[in-house]
Amino acid sequence: MHDSGGRLAIVLHIFYLDIAERLLGQLRWLASDDRFELWVTVSAEKRTDVQTLLARHGLVAHVRDCPNIGMDIVPFLQVLPELAERGFTTVIKLHTKRGSGKASAIWGRALSDTVTDLRWSDYAYAQLNLNRSLDMVGVGPYFCSGRRLMLENETAFDFLLTEFPHLKPLPNDWGFFIGTMFAARIERLLPLARWATNNRALFNASYHSDGQLVHAVEGILALFCRRSLPSIGLIHNAGVYAIETVSVTQGVNQALSRQLSRELSNYKENSRLLMESQLLEEKNYPFQGVVKGKVDLYRHYLLVGQFDKRVAASEAWSLKTHNRKHLTWERAVTKSREPGSVSVIVPVFNQPDLTAACIRSLYQELSDRSFTVTVVDNGSDDKTQSTLKSLAREYPLLKIVKNKKNLNFALGCNIGFCESSGEYAVFLNNDTKVTPGWLSALLGPVEAGEAFASQPLLLYPDGTVQCMGVVFSTGSSLGYPIYAGLKPEECHAYKPRQFQAVTAACVCVKATDFAELEGFDPLYINGQEDIDLCLRLGNKTGLKAAYVPDSRVIHYESKSKGRGRYIEQNRRVFVHKWGGKVKADDQQYYLEDGFSVLDWQPDNPEREQSLRVYRPMLDSLKPKHSGNLPKYLQRGNEALGEDARTAAACYINAVKLSQGQLAGFSLIFERLRETWLEKRSSRTFTVGVCSWELSHNPAGRALTLAESYPNNAEVEILGCILPSFGSEVWPPVNDSRISCHSFTVINEAEFVLQALSFVARHPVDLLHLSKPRIHNIIIGWLYQLMWGAKVIVDVDDEELAIVKADAPIKPTDYIAEHGQLPPLKNLHKRVWTQLAAAMVDDFDGITVANGALQTKYGGAIVPHVRPASRYQPSAKLKEEARQRFGIPENALVAIFVGTPRRHKGIFEAAKALSALKQENVYYLIVGGEVEQSLYKELKQLPSLNCVFAGNQAYDSVASVVAAGDITILLQDADSAIAQYQTPAKLTDALAMGVTVFAQPTPGMQEWVDNGAVIPVTRQTLLVELKKFMAGHYAEQGAKGRLIFERQLTTDSVAPVIQDCLNLDMKLTASKRKWHGQIEQIFDKKGLPLGFGE
């Protein structure tokens, strides 16, 4: 017997040479991976052509002559006995069939593209090796109903049951992998293989119509894997592979193509939308042939679309499917509803305090209309669930509908609606508070049949307008709230109006209208779904939506986490659905109200034009038209003592409207600062942690600092978004419990003016600047000028090394040489970073991440700390983490958490792990995508199982790191950047009791000296790993955990943080004066006077 050495066979039956050309090209990776062997079955007349193709692609294969009898099934079964004889235990089955009909051909190609991918094959192989109870694994959405196939093959099925009586009785249903591409354990299929070989005469070359024996054989393949334990693996992909283990009778009916065709015949509009929205456009969707084949894309998406790497789109389409499949819209349309009754539906995701205030306001503000309240709990946290239970006890008529996870605003509202019975439905955000008389007034226009919907006057807590209707400009098809941010008396807010669209923060609709349109479209994720609904209602009814100023609701807008994450996706879907169909109408309202538009400002010039929202600059707000300058000054003066934020905004608006008449404004801003400082002792202490760039990983340090502050301080994360790095806040920050405020830098030349407007909106007592970049230095300077804030500069990286600079440059030295500071452009590059580094000492204190940085910059050390409560290692957590990633309980697991890049020593670490020559060694790499060349090199290493887990949520890092035994940090000792770095992954590992091997550098020296890590180099790593395997470092994990508890928890840095909070010192802010600054910043758009001196 030949020994396969534990390799896996890939069997490919070739019908068509053109398809074989493509598949063999996709299998080129086999040439450099000796764990797999390729076997090809082909008719004798095509053997020479196939051998030519193999040579062209550099592939070696075992070629066996098999006529095209019994489709691809019989040739596959014929070769199994030989594979078993040679010692192979597992096999992947492929073929080159075209499929019957265009759609099945496209689906077949999508399936083959998946299964021929190295990562899928490797994952399937690993799962069969890891789990001995698994007999067959395949692509999850292709596991379909065998019973349905049997309906047209009953005679053939009956015959097979006489041949294999142990299959009786057939279960009510069972699964089989359509397309017959899968991985399987050979021994389970050998009885069928031997039977097929001995009964070859029963099969023929005709297979295009159902009823053939081979179709029945295809349908019972998985039944040969039936046993008491779950034996079928359904592989799913949402960025990383995951396996669902089921019995042969479970998990079926996930992709019934005929049923989908019938159920989704009315989705032609959505199929068009899919094409036009670019969600499944050729450049975005991995299955190129789908677009070219012009098949029903929506149906295709439901079948295999979860393999699309655009997770956000996957989420949206799965929710849309849920909305169509599981909500009883037909019953909702015909449901008996009590005339005049009202159902208030409140979707909730966390925010317990705001939710409680909202619900209490509903019951406390008495109404002359009867109503019921339905709360939809969208998978909220424990505290929110506890609050909801308390509210239910307090208000027995309150109905609570619970979803296991966050299904987002649209689907959450739809679910709540289907549980309601009012003639009218009012959707209300949980971050609102209603006022007396709100409901009766709101219902009026809809009840009278004058409007398809109505919204109240939504006000911010400061009394300014949040939304009083949505209008559309000529700039794009995207709407915007008219007069947002103005006081009601400034914009005729007390006049009833009608609009094309209103906001769903609070909206009333007729229940039957809502049901007939199947509610909000879940394709939108927390944005644009309300505008889309209004436009559909307008088309249906021929009416408009009413704005009802007599109904008033306070809105604490956008308190839920993550709401802004899908802005661009939502806009793209909306524009491609409604582009060219929405009438621009905003100017008619402005003309009616006596305004004219001077200019249009896009919210983000970096977006393509159709995806921008354009808002107007209104001429009549200038004093020559309306005299609003003194009104702004008066309003600012009125707010001065109680609401500094509003006062500052009013004064800045007044400056902008002054047309260069700036005399006296310096004194006004001096008084604002003095008043703010005088009130400091009577209010909650406010802290802002500012990141120079919030859209990528530099924001991580800002999050660490923000978590270091105690609960008795009100902490926010502040900062810029630079379009060259990204357009949205970095997900870990966006998803954290700490509120975050940012502004996008649109024009660097006007950065100072833009930053000052931002600073005015977010007053703080203490500003902690995360990283000495010039954006932060300017913002810190402005906070001192505007609010007299104490400013601390934090240094956790050597920024000079990052921009490849040798030394800082003092601004005075630069001015002496060049006559002035450089123009405000390329602010993130070398020269401005050198100037920023020279200004670290210009503020009130310095914190640093490690001793090496302390030696260079001084200050107090605040390492990368973590809350101890979130990092609690346990045997159970380790077991769960390993199960999650398919790793055996007794494996040795090295874990890497971070962006996997070659320069971080990942390959060198992997080589050392491979050199241990232990079969049960795993390298768990958690982070973004691995570059393809590195991936292939890692997979080719013998005696090492690499698991790529992709990005994980920030709050789940502890539960991920729990899977590890060791962490290897091989920083480049010669790198100027690495000299001053202490990776945050060190803290994560020590916190979870993971043993750390690390390359000594100045930035790591403290942790080498105190024994937290085992020092290694690339040359000594293998030796130390062998010591670990021999038990030499058995106590190292516990030792590291103890060091974490003493030095790396948020509690451990409390003394340093308390010093930051201490204001009993003379602040450098006292040097900042307003004299001359108004002209310098507003007129000249330059740096503040005195900056850098």
Query: Residue 798 pLDDT more than 50?
Result: yes
373-431 pLDDT tens trace: 999 998 889 999 999 999 999 999 999 998 887 888 988 999 999 999 999 999 999 99
The answer to whether residues 732 and 806 belong to one domain is yes
Q: How buried is 512 (Cβ within 10 angstroms: 0-12 exposed, 13-18 middle, 19+ buried)?
A: middle
* pTM, rounded to two decimals: 0.53
The answer to whether residues 611 and 715 belong to one domain is no
Query: Residue 229 pLDDT more than 70?
Result: no
Are 960 and 732 spatial neighbours (Cβ–Cβ below 8 Å)?
Answer: no
Residues 6+ apart with CB under 8 A from 983: 864, 898, 969, 971
Quote the tokens at residue 362.
């509903």
Determine the Cα–Cα distance for residues 891 and 947; give it in Å rounded to an integer: 13
Domain boundary among 1027, 1049, 1071: 1049
Q: How far is CA 741 from the centre of its chain?
A: 18
CATH no. for residue 374?
A: 3.90.550.10
Where do runs of H (alpha helix) occur along 2-101? Answer: 17-26, 47-56, 73-85
Residue 234's DSSP bridge partners are: 138, 244
CATH no. for residue 819?
A: 3.40.50
The answer to whether residues 907 and 962 belong to one domain is yes
Determine the Cα–Cα distance for residues 594 and 591; give it in Å rounded to an integer: 5
Asked if residue 378 is part of any domain, the answer here is yes
579, HSE (Cβ side, Cα atoms, 13 Å): 16
56, HSE (Cβ side, Cα atoms, 13 Å): 13
The answer to whether residues 505 and 366 belong to one domain is yes
What was the pLDDT predicted at 250? 67
The answer to whether residues 731 and 815 belong to one domain is yes
The answer to whether residues 271 and 405 belong to one domain is no
Lowest mean pLDDT among 380-384, 695-699, 702-706: 695-699
Asked if residue 1019 is part of any domain, the answer here is yes
What was the pLDDT predicted at 872? 95
What was the pLDDT predicted at 842? 93
Residue 569: Cβ within 10 Å count: 23
The answer to whether residues 792 and 887 belong to one domain is no
Please state the rounded mean pLDDT for residues 177-194.
89
What was the pLDDT predicted at 285? 40
How many residues are there in the chain? 1093
What was the pLDDT predicted at 255? 39
Tally of domains in the chain = 6
Quote the tokens at residue 1091.
């900056």
The answer to whether residues 396 and 530 belong to one domain is yes
The answer to whether residues 713 and 853 belong to one domain is yes
605-626 pLDDT tens trace: 777 767 888 888 775 544 343 3
Asked if residue 301 is part of any domain, the answer here is yes
Query: Residue 151 pLDDT more than 80?
Result: no
Asked if residue 111 is part of any domain, the answer here is yes
Q: Are strands 479-481 and 470-472 parallel, antiparallel or unpaired?
A: antiparallel
Q: Is the dihedral of CA 919, 925, 931, 932 positive or negative?
A: positive
In the three-class reduction of DSSP (H, G, I as helix; E, B as strand; rest coil), residue 63 is classed as strand
669 band by pLDDT with thresholds 50, 70 and 90: very high
CATH no. for residue 995?
A: 3.40.50.2000
837-881 pLDDT tens trace: 999 999 999 999 999 999 999 999 999 999 999 999 999 999 988
The answer to whether residues 814 and 882 belong to one domain is no
What are the DSSP calls for 761-792, one per residue?
HS--SEEEEES--HHHHHHHHHHHHHH--EEE
Q: Are strands 182-185 and 136-139 parallel, antiparallel or unpaired?
A: antiparallel
Quote the tokens at residue 947.
């698991």
Determine the Cα–Cα distance for residues 973 and 980; give it in Å rounded to an integer: 10
Asked if residue 160 is part of any domain, the answer here is no
252 band by pLDDT with thresholds 50, 70 and 90: low
Q: Is the dihedral of CA 751, 754, 758, 760 positive or negative?
A: positive
Domain boundary among 248, 277, 309: 309
What are the DSSP calls for 1025-1051, one per residue?
HHHHHTTTTTTHHHHHHHHHHHHTBTG
Determine the Cα–Cα distance for residues 562 and 733; give it in Å rounded to an integer: 9
What domain range includes position 551? 329-555+566-616
Report the percentage of the chain scoring pLDDT > 70: 85
Asked if residue 315 is part of any domain, the answer here is no
CATH no. for residue 212?
A: 3.90.550
The answer to whether residues 83 and 191 belong to one domain is yes
Determine the Cα–Cα distance for residues 1013 and 990; give it in Å rounded to an integer: 9
Asked if residue 1088 is part of any domain, the answer here is no
Determine the Cα–Cα distance for residues 567 and 541; give it in Å rounded to an integer: 29
Query: Residue 992 pLDDT more than 90?
Result: yes
Among candidates 303, 330, 331, which has minimal Cα distance to 317?
A: 303
Residue 937's DSSP bridge partners are: none
Report the percentage of the chain scoring pLDDT > 90: 48
Among candidates 423, 422, 419, which has minimal Cα distance to 375?
A: 419
Asked if residue 268 is part of any domain, the answer here is yes
The answer to whether residues 64 and 213 belong to one domain is yes
What value does the mean pLDDT of the chain take?
84
